[in-house]
Chain A
Amino acid sequence: MEALKKELKERIINVLNLEDITVDDIQDTDALFGDGLGLDSIDALELIVLLDKEYGIKLADPKQGKEIFQSIETMAQYIAQNRTKL
């Protein structure tokens, strides 16, 4: 799980162009939206694409994202349970 969290942080930094942020800056329980990383609605769509592209997870209902994308912790747990790509 720790390796998945680190990989997830690296991918999020890369895909969302978070140039001034490093893996060490993101805590596992930090909020990804709002006061945390300050991601926006386009970033949320990018995270949905990331789940599909890298882990083979298709979110049928984008509203699911609200709970899944709360933090790195919640994302990693969801990916570990639902991934179809290793």
Chain B
Amino acid sequence: MYSVSKYIHIENGSIFENGKQIVDSNTTDFSEFIKQVYRNFEHIYPKFYKMDDLCKLAYIASELVLKDETEKDIALLFSNNEGSLDTDYKHQQSIQNNDAYFPSPAVFVYTLPNIAIGEVSIRHQLKSESAFFIASEYQTDYMHQYTEHLLRTNKAKKVLCGWVHCLNGAYKACFYLVETNGILEHNNQNIKQITK
């Protein structure tokens, strides 16, 4: 039997930690909102500003879950329904016109969703199991079974699971950490509640 030890919900300028609101911003602009949140962190990480929006969101959600974490054997299972499409569009626009063909290397490197996993792994020095799933909605049962398999077979001591959506200014992140002890039973009903 495994448990959820912490969960985070980020959407519409608000952040909830274990169901309790910890940030309530009146800005509707994602870029401004996420920078406000970052600047309130004690940890200085200049590379944050170079990330694309999907990675910024995954970084902040992970930071909030893992800020007091010392365990390094944490598997990462992220998911969304558009991959890196937000940045793919930006890259496509930069190569649309033959007369102004200036693809940006800094944009291009984020045209893969699992870069978000890489950014979180680098920040927290994780060399663990990881996967980024693309699905129309959060695959509760699959993620539940996969997470428990990783823990049961000692592939990881803990698993950070999350839905991280970022497209055309809309954003939503629901992250939760699964381990032996916690505050909620790790079951489909609670996962649905956390990721709704």
- Please report A residues at the B interface, Cβ cutoff 8 Å: 16-20, 38, 42-43, 45-46, 49, 52-53
Contacts and interface: CB of A to CB of B under 8 A. Distances in A.
A46 B102 CA distance: 10
B49 interface: yes
A42 B49 contact: no
22 contacts: A16-B50, A16-B106, A17-B106, A18-B46, A18-B49, A19-B35, A19-B46, A19-B49, A20-B46, A38-B46, A42-B50, A42-B105, A42-B106, A42-B109, A45-B105, A46-B104, A46-B105, A46-B106, A49-B103, A49-B104, A49-B105, A53-B102
Interface of B: 35, 46, 49-50, 102-106, 109
B109 A52 contact: no
* CB-CB nearest 3 A-B residue pairs: A45-B105, A19-B49, A17-B49
Nearest to B107: A46
A74 B15 CA distance: 46
A20 B49 CA distance: 9
Nearest to A41: B105
Nearest to A44: B105
A80 B4 CA distance: 60
Contacts of A42: 50, 105-106, 109
A46 B107 CA distance: 10
A20 B39 CA distance: 11
B102 to A, nearest CB: 5
A83 B78 CA distance: 46
B175 to A, nearest CB: 24
Nearest to A19: B49
A45 B104 CA distance: 8
B106 A43 contact: yes
A42 B50 CA distance: 10
A38 B49 CA distance: 14
A52 B94 CA distance: 14
Contacts of A46: 104-106
Nearest to B44: A20
A43 B105 CA distance: 8
B102 A52 contact: yes
Given A20-B46, A45-B105, 8 more contacts: A16-B106, A17-B49, A18-B46, A18-B49, A20-B49, A42-B105, A43-B106, A53-B102
Contacts of B103: 49
A40 to B, nearest CB: 9
Contacts of B109: 42
A2 to B, nearest CB: 27
Contacts of A53: 102
